Amino acid sequence: DKAFATTHWSFPSHFSILTGQERGYLFSDPQQRSDNPPPLPVIMAQHGYATAISSANNMWFTAKVGDLERGVARFNVYFHNTADSIGRTFFGKVLANTVRCWAGYFDRPGRKQAFEVNQEVLQWVDYSRAMGRPFMMVLNYFDVHEPYFPPTPFRNRYSPAVTRDHMASLHPNCSLRSNLTHADTQLLIDAYDSALAYLDHWLGDLRKELEQRGVFDRTLILITADHGEELGEQKRFGHTTPVLRQ
């Protein structure tokens, strides 16, 4: 009952998560950073931990935004698959931002999926163990971010109507339509729940991998979120509006 996000978008919220400070947006101001406590990776690195971040949010949780990279030995965001690598080029950006929407491809090209985050995690775990050092990682999964369209077989976990054609019809020009019907809203909810099931599967897989390496029982795992998601409440969708206390 007392789970609150400090804000409704990722950049300042990640600062709050990593520092424990309620008003994380202050860290976007360069004049204020020196007066604020160091983020968790800095403290852990000072105590001998091998620190890393694996982020699927390539806009607001990267080493290029603010000073989120402080104390982090490795910050994995880009070049995790072929589509993302192509999207890093000039013509790739043109293709991703214009042609794909015109062609009806509504999903995020090159989106880093949960299993790819897990691969980066396990690589760092193995590297840290080989070096004889404890590890500390921050993971950012993006699979439950709009547009919700997990791979099969999870895609139709809650409704057979969650298809590429149906989801594309809700996202003309790559943006969610504003005139959604009740059936459209339910379709989004079913797709969102399917994305949650997909992420839950890969979190379970990560646990199994850590167990096989013999480190799970000695690893503290905290699961949280940087913001919530509106799914038709007050006719709002996504997380573009400020936090509401209800």
pLDDT in tens, 143-155: 998 888 899 899 9
Other Cβ atoms within 10 Å of 227 Cβ, number: 16
Percent of the chain surpassing pLDDT 70: 77
Helices (H) and strands (E) in the chain, counts: 9, 5
Q: Are 147 and 175 in contact (CB under 8 A)?
A: no
pLDDT in tens, 75-91: 888 766 666 666 666 66
Distances (CA, A) of 230 to 12, 26, 136, 146, 243: 19, 25, 31, 11, 10
Beta-ladder partners of 136:
51
* pLDDT > 70? residue 101: no
pLDDT digits (tens, 9 = 90+) for 11-43: 777 888 888 877 655 545 555 555 667 888 999
CA distance 13 to 54: 16
Residue 237, SS3 per DSSP: strand
